[in-house]
A and B are shown apart, each in its own frame.
Chain A
């Protein structure tokens, strides 16, 4: 059974039919990417899986549990979290407090401490700035904080929504190498990216979303070779 199974998910914003029956799976240990143009429904899909927005019909299963109507905080307790589009770090809290918030679902204090140390090993910049208010960090540092904060709950499945958006090319490379190291440490990754080239190269499998429908799927390399993907998302 797949770690995440999305069946025929349908979402409306008022009268607008934003997701028209999206189905896909993410297997344990994979990196799976959703690519698609602006407005295709990528963020809607990610937020709907965690019930930040309600679905009209369809079902979502995670690790054997039906999470279709489960409140978001209970889904987090099952071992899934998300780095939202636009980072969403708590601007008024310090870096350290943000990381503690990331461990909100964890009870074991010594493990939280060990996790924080691991995040600092990953992102030494965060340790240097641990007592700084998060709102004063640069965009790249905030992205690192958002990813480090997500690590704190030790998720089985981590969803990342546009983690490279608005970052310099150097930082984009760093973000992708962090994603790879997350996978190497045993996390399963569901990724939404505008940077189709880099994300397909990293992905085991990928799905192309257009106007609320999945129109194409395959392995990362297959999709990179597809004429349609080349034309629409890889600049020819």
Chain B
């Protein structure tokens, strides 16, 4: 029983990280109608930024703020330099470009930081014991902050003028234009929000796995993409649900030492089976794509 509670809290916390990343994939997909395969690498850039500023200042809060700033600038310039010129081009051209951006970022960071992985201890928050249950404080903190961010994002989308415009662009770009919505501006805002969430995710990810390399964004990126598709790509609640679900599944299978080596295979297997049953994901709608 104690083991189960610990596993579920760790799972929800890991799932929260996946959800934050998945939100970036799903919002960009819903609004810009493209898959940003370089999204995972924003986490890596966030990771190196945290590494640099932890070494320079030793203060995790300052490091986190700089990671957010750097990632947001990266997200906005990625969109402006690489994707905006391709507005209206074939989806395949955009996809190849996104893969190119991903390799560019990975290679650049290898040139700057070298091929050896770096280790950074952002903060040691210790554990809490309640009875026989041992819970890592960083997991709890991750989970709480993730939930707060998700609620804030949901309120922003539902209540603000910009959020409503995002929904409108994702549903019907031409109709949004004739309302006076600057679609390019909305797409930039979407990339900025996605990059910010990825920066937050990189901090939480480092709390769990404190190793930084130029490919560190790949695995969480692919897992989060899987989560977004499981939840229904284009759907914001879908990305949240998919992320949490995938995190819990991962932690449950990892807690059995005989099964643990196969966890990744099982997760992607679940994706395949789910897509056979529900091709649009759990919360995805038929044909219609939304934010």
Chain A positions near chain B (C-beta within 8 angstroms):
47, 50, 52, 71-73, 76-77, 81-82, 84, 88-93, 97, 100-102, 104-105, 149, 153
Q: Mark B175-195, 1 if CB is under 8 A from A, else 0.
A: 111111111100000000000
Whether B161 contacts A73 by the Cβ 8 Å rule is no
Give min CB distance, B162 to chain A, whole Å.
10
Whether B180 contacts A52 by the Cβ 8 Å rule is no
Binds A, one of B10-18, B43-51, B112-120, B163-171: B163-171
Alpha-carbon separation in the docked complex, A146 to B61 (Å): 48
Residues of chain B within 8 A (CB-CB) of A100 are: 161, 164
Is B39 part of the contact surface with A, judged by Cβ < 8 Å? no
Give min CB distance, B29 to chain A, whole Å.
16
Give min CB distance, A47 to chain B, whole Å.
8
Q: Could you show 13 A-B contacts with beta carbons less than 8 Å apart?
A: A72-B178, A73-B177, A76-B179, A76-B180, A81-B180, A88-B172, A88-B175, A91-B171, A93-B168, A101-B181, A102-B179, A104-B179, A104-B181
Whether B168 contacts A90 by the Cβ 8 Å rule is yes
Whether A90 contacts B182 by the Cβ 8 Å rule is no
Q: Name the contact of A101 in the complex, choosing from B168, B184, B288 (C-beta under 8 A).
A: B168
Whether A92 contacts B178 by the Cβ 8 Å rule is no
Give min CB distance, B161 to chain A, whole Å.
7
Whether B172 contacts A76 by the Cβ 8 Å rule is no
Is B2 part of the contact surface with A, judged by Cβ < 8 Å? no
Alpha-carbon separation in the docked complex, A100 to B163 (Å): 12
Alpha-carbon separation in the docked complex, A168 to B225 (Å): 46
Residues of chain B within 8 A (CB-CB) of A77 are: 180
Whether A105 contacts B179 by the Cβ 8 Å rule is yes
Alpha-carbon separation in the docked complex, A97 to B164 (Å): 8
Residues of chain B within 8 A (CB-CB) of A91 are: 171, 288
Whether A101 contacts B171 by the Cβ 8 Å rule is no
Residues of chain A within 8 A (CB-CB) of B180 are: 73, 76-77, 81, 104-105, 153
Known: A47-B174, A102-B179. 5 other contacts (CB 8 A): A88-B174, A88-B175, A92-B288, A101-B179, A104-B180
Q: Mark B43-80, 1 if CB is under 8 A from A, else 0.
A: 00000000000000000000000000000000000000
Residues of chain A within 8 A (CB-CB) of B183 are: 73
- Given A88-B172, A92-B290, answer yes or no on A82-B164 (Cβ-Cβ < 8 Å): no
Give min CB distance, A119 to chain B, whole Å.
14
Residues of chain B within 8 A (CB-CB) of A82 are: 178
Whether A76 contacts B288 by the Cβ 8 Å rule is no
Whether A73 contacts B164 by the Cβ 8 Å rule is no
Whether B167 contacts A93 by the Cβ 8 Å rule is yes
Residues of chain B within 8 A (CB-CB) of A90 are: 167-168, 171-172, 175
Residues of chain A within 8 A (CB-CB) of B167 are: 90, 92-93
Nearest A residue to B158 via CB reads A97
Centre residue among B165, B178, B180 by max chain A CB count within 10 A: B178
Residues of chain B within 8 A (CB-CB) of A97 are: 164
Give min CB distance, A109 to chain B, whole Å.
11
Q: Mark B22-36, 1 if CB is under 8 A from A, else 0.
A: 000000000000000
Whether B174 contacts A84 by the Cβ 8 Å rule is yes
Residues of chain B within 8 A (CB-CB) of A153 are: 179-180
Which residues of B, 137-167, contact A by the 8 Å Cβ criterion? 161, 164-165, 167
Alpha-carbon separation in the docked complex, A84 to B172 (Å): 11
Whether A101 contacts B177 by the Cβ 8 Å rule is no
Whether A84 contacts B290 by the Cβ 8 Å rule is no
Whether A84 contacts B175 by the Cβ 8 Å rule is yes
Nearest A residue to B185 via CB reads A73
Residues of chain B within 8 A (CB-CB) of A47 are: 174
Residues of chain A within 8 A (CB-CB) of B171 are: 90-93
Give min CB distance, B184 to chain A, whole Å.
8
Alpha-carbon separation in the docked complex, A88 to B167 (Å): 14
Residues of chain A within 8 A (CB-CB) of B184 are: 71
Give min CB distance, B241 to chain A, whole Å.
18
Give min CB distance, B42 to chain A, whole Å.
28
Alpha-carbon separation in the docked complex, A82 to B180 (Å): 11
Centre residue among A52, A72, A91 by max chain B CB count within 10 A: A72
Whether A81 contacts B182 by the Cβ 8 Å rule is no
Alpha-carbon separation in the docked complex, A136 to B167 (Å): 17
Whether B179 contacts A81 by the Cβ 8 Å rule is yes
Alpha-carbon separation in the docked complex, A91 to B180 (Å): 18
Whether A84 contacts B164 by the Cβ 8 Å rule is no
Give min CB distance, A95 to chain B, whole Å.
13
